[in-house]
Homo-oligomer: A and B are copies of this chain.
Amino acid sequence: MRKRLTDFRKELVDLLDGRGLPLNVKEIHESAGDSDLSTVYRALEYLESQGMVRSIFVPCSCDRSKYYYSAGKHLHFLHCERCHSFYPVPCAGMKKMEKKILDDYRFSVTEHVLLFMGRCEKCRAES
Q: Which chain A residues have a beta carbon within 8 Å of chain B's beta carbons? A: 55-57, 59, 66, 78, 80-81, 87, 89, 93, 97-98, 101, 104-121, 124
A20 smallest CB distance to B (angstroms): 15
Assembly CA distance A87 to B102 (angstroms): 13
- Residues on B with beta carbons closer than 8 Å to the beta carbon of A89: 101, 104-105
Q: How many whole Å from A1's CB to the nearest CB in chain B?
A: 25
Indicate which residue in B59, B66, B98, B116 contacts A98 across the interface (CB closer than 8 Å).
B116
Shortest A92–chain B CB gap in Å is 8
**A31 smallest CB distance to B (angstroms):** 22
State A59–B16 Cα separation when bound (angstroms): 19
Asked whether, in the complex, the Cβ of B110 is within 8 Å of the Cβ of A59, the reply is no
Give the CA-CA distance A98 to B80 in the complex, in Å: 14
Chain B residues within 8 Å of A81, by CB: 110
